[in-house]
Amino acid sequence: MDERLLTLVDNAIYNDEERLPLLTLGEARAAVELLQLLAAAPSEGAVAARHLAGNLARRLPADG
């Protein structure tokens, strides 16, 4: 596991910065799907990708 990537993701998730509306819902869903693909690959960044994908997916509205 690449600790540098996981630390970078944790710092992005758990800081108190103001959130900005930078993505459309479709772009956010596509980003989560791409992160999930990266998480499934046997690579150093897989754990960080899984962590970030899960955090972002929890904040998206449910499909309906």
Which pLDDT score is estimated for 37? 93
Tell whether pTM > 0.95. no
Name the token pair of 47.
Answer: 């754990």
Domain spans of the chain, in order of start: 25-64
Which pLDDT score is estimated for 48? 85
Which pLDDT score is estimated for 64? 55
Residues of the chain with pLDDT under 70: 1, 64
CB atoms within 10 A of CB 43: 14
Query: How far apart (Å, rounded) are the C-alpha atoms in residues 32 and 42?
Result: 18
Which pLDDT score is estimated for 13? 72
Which pLDDT score is estimated for 33? 93
